[in-house]
Amino acid sequence: MTQGTLYGVGVGPGDPELMTVKAWRLVSTARVIAYLSANGGESTARDIARTFFPDDATELAIDMPMRIEREHGEKAYDAGAAQIAAHLEAGRDVVMLCEGDPFFYGSFMYLFARLAGKFETVVVPGVSSITASAAAIGRPLAARNEVLKVLPATLAEDRLREELQACESATIIKVGRHLPKLRNILGLLDLTSKSVVIEKATRDEEKITPLADVEGDVLPYFTTILVYTGREPW
């Protein structure tokens, strides 16, 4: 029996209309559609692409515990890979959904590492939250010879400060509960006025706020901060 093909499909940052034509085609003709389910509940990737699902598609929700300890996630990826492999071995193609781009901090890369050596695997790029955020505020990420840095908010405070001290523009992702740390660093570097917070870019709940005006200490996980060290952000 011919094995199925695994497709890692980037569905973009939130707006279904930002899915590529290829992503739409694969989703709309899929026999099996897989996606991560946070703590057995919601799936952002599914929410984005759901309107294009065929009525007879089999949905495969991979329960992903949202924990700091890596071993929980590793076990979830192992279990998800085994479920996907069963469909592939039976000759069924599997479309695995991933927010943004599969290979840009995407969850699909961990399933790719487990399955690509055994099954034909195709990666379909998607629009990232970073480019979506720049479009939302109407400012280029970088120009001419400027260097853009991408910094996960999960980095240690000293590392973040060091990286931000030596950059022309930066984008900080995975903000969530790390806002107090970021607010402190950007304040010390006199970058507060040059930082813009974009929550849930391209979605109905999109919110754009200068960092100085952000209230509270926690933001959604899908929040990006754009920092323009050499020029004003507006």
pLDDT at res. 78: 94
Higher per-residue pLDDT: 147 or 102: 102
How far are the Cα atoms of 16, 124, 203 from residue 20, in angstroms, in the given order? 9, 9, 16
pLDDT score for 133: 97
CB–CB of 198/223 below 8 Å?
Answer: yes
Q: How far is 30 from 43, CA to CA, in rounded Å?
A: 18
pLDDT at position 67, please? 60
Let me know the angle formed at the C-alpha of 108 by 89 and 116, rounded to the nearest 5 degrees: 40
Higher pLDDT, 38 or 137: 137
Question: Does residue 173 have a pLDDT over 90?
Answer: yes
Please determine, for residue 158, whether its predicted confidence score (pLDDT) is greater than 70: yes
CA 10, CA 15: separation in Å to the nearest integer?
Answer: 12
Grade residue 146 by pLDDT with cuts at 50, 70 and 90.
Answer: confident
- Residue 17 confidence (pLDDT): 97
> Where does the pLDDT of residue 71 fall: very low under 50, low under 70, confident under 90, or very high at 90 and above?
confident
Residue 144: per-residue pLDDT: 82
Per-residue pLDDT at 69 exceeds 70 = no
Report whether pLDDT(168) > 70.
yes
What percent of the chain has a predicted confidence (pLDDT) above 70?
95
Q: What is the mean pLDDT of the chain?
A: 93
Angstrom CA distances, 207 to 16, 69, 150, 200, 224, stand at: 18, 30, 21, 7, 11
pLDDT at 233: 55
Is the pLDDT higher at 92 or at 71?
92
Q: Per-residue pLDDT for 214 more than 60?
A: yes
Structural domains for the chain: 6-124 (3.40.1010.10), 129-228 (3.30.950.10)
> What's the confidence (pLDDT) of residue 80?
95
Taking 60 as the threshold, does the pLDDT of residue 210 lie above it? yes
